[in-house]
Amino acid sequence: MEREPMRIREGYLVKKGSMFNTWKPMWVVLLEDGIEFYKRKADNSPKGMVPLKGSSVNSPCQDFGKRMFVFKLTAAKQQDHFFQAAYLEERDAWVRDIKKAIRCIDGGQRFARKSTRKSIRLPETINLSALYLSMKDPEKGIKELKLEKDKKVFNHCFTGTSVIDWLVSSNSIRNRKEGLMLASSLLSEGYLQPAGDTSKAAAEGLSDTPFLDLSDAYYYFPDSGFFCEGNSSDDDVVLKEEFRGIVVKQGCLLKQGHRRKNWKVRKFVLREDPAYLHYYDPAGGEEPLGAIHLRGCVVTAVEDMPDSKKYDVDNILFEIITANEIHYYLQAASSAERTEWIRAIQAVARTGK
C-alpha cells in the first residue's frame, strides 16, 4: 500500500492568480512531493497542485513592488507561482521547508526535521502528542505569560527554564539533562516554537542544544495566539489589556473607504471572542462605524496602492482579506506598529470565533 505524502507545513497565504493580476487568500499545504492550494481550509479537493520535482524557489521576490514577503515557485514546466506571507519569518519558514523538500526529492530521501526522535534517543514509550496536551492544560500545564525583553512584549509565551521545571515536576524526566533532550524533541516536532532572537538562534543550530534551559529564552505553543509587540510611543495607542480578555489591541489607524477610496482616521479595537476588528469615530461615540470579521482572514503588508494619493508617502500599509474576499486597506503610524497589528490580527483570526 502506497504511503500518504507527509504534510510538512500548512496555512493561509495570498496567491497570485495564474491568468490575471489578482491576489486571493488560499489554504496552502506543503507535502513531500508538491504544494496543494485550497480555496478554504475545510475544502476536500484542492484548486491546484504544483509538483516539487524539478521546481525551484526564489526569495525574496521583487516582481511586485507593492507586495512584501513574496516568494516565487517555478515549476518544472517553467510556470511561475507567486505566494505572499504575512511577515518575514513566515515567508522564510515556507521557503526553507520548500527548499529542503526539493533537496530531499533530488536526493531520493524522506523529509525530516533537523532533530528527530532517533537522533535525540528518546524512549519509544514517550508520547509527544499526549505530553503536549498535558503541557497545555489550563490548570496543571505550563502558564502562558506576557514577557518583556529588548523593548518587545511577548504575549502568550513562557521561558525555557519553566518548560524544564514543568517536565521535572510532572515526573516526565529524571533530571534537567533529560529535560533538554525531551524539550528539543518537542521543538523539532513543532509542539514548541521559539520566540525571540535567543531561542531562534539556538533552534537554528547556533548553540550546543536546540532548546535552551534559560530564563531569557522564550517559547510558545503554535496554536496559543502568541504575538509580539514592539513598545510604541504613539499617543493614540491605548494601553493594551490582557490577550485573554475581550480587547486584544486598540489604537488609531488610517482606513481607506470602499466607495470613495478616501482615507480617514479611525479608532480600531481588536477583539478576540468573537474575532472582530471594530472601528469608531476617534472624536467619540460608543457605537462602532463598522466591523471586520477576522475568522479565516488573511492579513499582509503592502507597500503602496495605485489609487492612494494623500498618504502614499509613508507606505506603511497592510491589507486584510476576509473569508468572503472583502479587501480592507489600513495604514499604521510606523513599520513596527504595522507589524504589531498584523501579528495581533493573525493570532485572533486563528483562535477567535
The closest alpha carbon to 252, from 266, 270, 271, 264, belongs to 266
How would residue 223 be classed by pLDDT, with cut points 50, 70 and 90?
low
**Backbone φ and ψ of 89, nearest 5°:** -65, -35
Which cell goes with 2?
Answer: 502506497
> Which fold, 7-107?
PH-domain like (2.30.29)
Residue 236 has pLDDT above 80, yes or no: no
User: Under CATH, which architecture does the 241-351 domain have?
Assistant: Roll (2.30)
Residue-wise pLDDT for 23-69, tens only, equals 888 889 999 999 999 988 878 899 999 999 999 999 888 877 667 78
The sign of the dihedral angle between the CA atoms of 85, 89, 94, 95 is: positive
Is the separation of the CB atoms in 346 and 299 below 8 Å?
Answer: yes
> Which fold, 129-229?
Arc Repressor Mutant, subunit A (1.10.10)
The closest alpha carbon to 93, from 11, 215, 167, belongs to 11
Question: What would the 3-class secondary structure string for 222-277 be?
Answer: CCCCCEEEECCCCCCCCCCCCCCCCEEEEEEEEEECCCCCCEEEEEEEEECCCCEE
Model pLDDT, residue 36: 94
Helix (H, G, I), strand (E, B) or coil at 92: helix
Rounded Cα gap, residues 213 and 30, in angstroms: 32
Asked, colleague to colleague, whether 7-107 and 129-229 share their fold, the answer is: no
Rounded Cα gap, residues 81 and 86, in angstroms: 17
Residue ranges per structural domain of the chain: 7-107, 129-229, 241-351
Residue-wise pLDDT for 151-180, tens only, equals 788 888 999 999 999 999 998 888 999 999
Residue 88 has pLDDT above 60, yes or no: yes
**For residues 336 and 239, which has the higher predicted lDDT (pLDDT)?**
336
Q: Which residue in this structure is represented by grid cell 477567535?
A: 352
